[in-house]
Structure 1
Amino acid sequence: MTDPSFWGWLAGGMGSLSKGIDLMSSIVGAQSDAELLSAVSAAASSCGFERVLIGTQWITPRGERCFQVLSGYPLEWQTAYAQRGYMGMDPTVAHCQVQTSSLIWTPNHFEQANAMELFEEARSFGLSCGMSVPIHEAAGVKTMVSLVRDKPLDADPGELEQLVRAGELIGNVAHFSYRRLITPQIQGILPKKLTQHELTALRWVANGKTSWESSRIMNISEATVIFHLNNAMKKLDVVNRPQAIAAAFRLGLLE
């Protein structure tokens, strides 16, 4: 049953400000995956949700995708989901990859994705009704926060609106908290900061200029241009100029 005090806090009511702050503070202050999952689950439970999932994706300079998932779903379902390759057909995952608006799950989403088998099996675990909140950052960092329950979300229009508002708040706070916890892993694969000369040399190469042509434009020697490009490739962890240009574009360095 939904805790009305949480809705009051969410809408700006006076009676539950303390509880709302405590719920969000617990998420923000989490120091481990276990603490974060517990805090997010508690906040979600206050809104009538029963299970939560937080999944973050980032892209290495080489274009490789890395994933990390924090799941409160039943372990049996997590195993079945992985073994059956459901991620590749899951419409909630597909939505969060390309959209920034929240998705309220409906059977129609799964039917259109030819994923009714996934939907029916998820329903057997009480995971058929929920919402997914996508959060996109620069450099390919994306998070999907799903809040799930067995009861349909659209039984009452007023409740649905409040559920969405609460879910989006929890989702965004959970994202930045999880992002903080796994930042060392992400930073371990992100490049060191490129110098202005390295960026300038990359930009001219991206525009089709040779090292010699770039040297004339930059008013430096060709050897110095090559030196800057080699340094940029090392920092981006790539082996040639096309890879360096692609990595720099993915990271938003040449926009």
Structure 2
Amino acid sequence: MDIHLTAMQLIRIVEGVRSVDDMTAAMAIVAARLGFQYFALSHHVDVAAVGNAIRIHNYPARWADYYDRQALGVSDPVHRASHVTSVGFCWSRMPQMIPLTAKDRRVLALGREEGIGDGFTVPAHVPGEARGSCSFANEANQPMPQDMLPVAQLAGAFAFEAARRLWTTRGHLPIPPPPALTDRQRECVLWAARGKGDWEISRILGVSEETVARHVKMACERYDLSKRTSLIARVLFDGTITFSDIFGR
């Protein structure tokens, strides 16, 4: 099999979709060509609370109903594992990627009982948007198509981006741009994220302590927040500052 040719064919399939129904049909074709029975394109959110999130899958109905009732879109161990890597991974590797809780192991066991075995998940991280992923999975006791995983990586990444384009045309994406902080507000927030108090920041930046407090307060107001801890989480989420900014490289 020509892996490059197969990858290009699958990418063209997902890039040609024009509707959610097209996307669902295309993903069924892609999954089958890769050697998988199941697929899921989703944002990592509680779908009951966030009605405009990307969510396309062909998992068994009983498992999907349970998944939604338990709001597993947020706590799913597969989703959490995807947050610590930039490339696709087999679910069997999760114990080496994140600490699995007793609840995680129960969820994975229930999935197997519903016929879902090992899978392969491609992360999708876009600053300012909920994290997401494209997953492919097999029925329990079916072998993982190891030779096709590099193609699954490419197809999954292009598939999620195609879904984002669809949701954009439906008026749900992109998320409005984050509030713009001034340079001085960003500096103060960055030093606060590094664990410095207002007095320490004032000495570092050569301004008064009151000025620092005012800049942080105004930054909070731009995000409609009241606490700086929430502000730090938001600016990390939307890319205004990064972990490298805080901790260095």
Task: Place the TM-score, normalised by the shorter chain, in its bin.
Answer: 0.5 to 0.7
* Partner Cα distance (1:119, 1:57) in 2: 17
* Within-5 A mapping of 1:85-164: 91-105=77-91, 113-115=105-107, 117-123=109-115, 127-138=116-127, 141-150=130-139, 152-154=142-144, 160-164=145-149
Instruction: Report deviation, 1:216.
Output: 7.2
Instruction: Report deviation, 1:198.
Output: 2.5
Match of 1:81 in 2: 67
Instruction: Report deviation, 1:248.
Output: 2.3
CA separation of 1:38 and 1:210: change in aligned 2, threshold 3 A: farther
The answer to whether the Cα contact below 8 Å between 2:43 and 2:55 also exists between their aligned partners in 1 is yes
Which of the residues 58, 71, 96 maps onto 2:57?
71
Instruction: Report deviation, 1:81.
Output: 3.2
* Partner Cα distance (1:216, 1:46) in 2: 58
Q: Which amino acid aligns with 1:32?
A: S
The answer to whether the Cα contact below 8 Å between 2:181 and 2:219 also exists between their aligned partners in 1 is yes
User: Which structure has the larger Rg?
Assistant: 1
Unaligned stretches of 5+ in structure 1?
1-6, 59-63, 155-159
Instruction: Report deviation, 1:199.
Output: 1.2
CA separation of 1:152 and 1:212: change in aligned 2, threshold 3 A: closer
Runs of 4 or more above 6 Å deviation = 85-89, 108-112
The answer to whether the Cα contact below 8 Å between 2:198 and 2:213 also exists between their aligned partners in 1 is no
* Partner Cα distance (1:84, 1:229) in 2: 37
Q: Which amino acid aligns with 2:162?
A: S
* Partner Cα distance (2:166, 2:160) in 1: 10
* Partner Cα distance (1:246, 1:129) in 2: 33
Which of the residues 57, 66, 83 maps onto 2:44?
57
* Partner Cα distance (1:212, 1:83) in 2: 46
Q: Does 1:197 align with 2:192?
A: no
CA separation of 1:194 and 1:187: change in aligned 2, threshold 3 A: farther
* Partner Cα distance (1:251, 1:162) in 2: 36
* Partner Cα distance (2:174, 2:200) in 1: 30
Give me the identity figure in percent: 20
Moved more, 203-212 or 160-169: 203-212
Q: Which amino acid aligns with 1:152?
A: Q
The answer to whether the Cα contact below 8 Å between 2:88 and 2:120 also exists between their aligned partners in 1 is yes
Q: Does 1:42 align with 2:29?
A: yes
* Within-5 A mapping of 1:157-236: 160-182=145-167, 185=172, 187-188=174-175, 191-206=178-193, 207-210=196-199, 213=202, 217=206, 226=214, 228-236=215-223
* Partner Cα distance (1:121, 1:185) in 2: 35
The two structures, once aligned, show a CA RMSD in angstroms of 4.1
**Residue 203 of structure 1: SS of its match in structure 2?**
helix
* Partner Cα distance (1:36, 1:246) in 2: 33
CA separation of 1:103 and 1:223: change in aligned 2, threshold 3 A: closer
The answer to whether the Cα contact below 8 Å between 1:201 and 1:214 also exists between their aligned partners in 2 is no
Superposed CA deviations along residues 80-101 of structure 1, whole A, max 9, x for unmatched, are: 3334666688543443243445
Instruction: Report deviation, 1:71.
Output: 1.4
The answer to whether the Cα contact below 8 Å between 2:119 and 2:138 also exists between their aligned partners in 1 is yes
Instruction: Report deviation, 1:187.
Output: 4.6
- Normalising to structure 2: TM-score of the pair? 0.67
**Residue 54 of structure 1: SS of its match in structure 2?**
strand
* Partner Cα distance (1:90, 1:197) in 2: 38
Q: Which amino acid aligns with 2:147?
A: Q
CA separation of 1:211 and 1:242: change in aligned 2, threshold 3 A: farther
CA separation of 1:45 and 1:233: change in aligned 2, threshold 3 A: same
Match of 1:61 in 2: none
**Residue 128 of structure 1: SS of its match in structure 2?**
strand
The answer to whether the Cα contact below 8 Å between 1:53 and 1:73 also exists between their aligned partners in 2 is yes
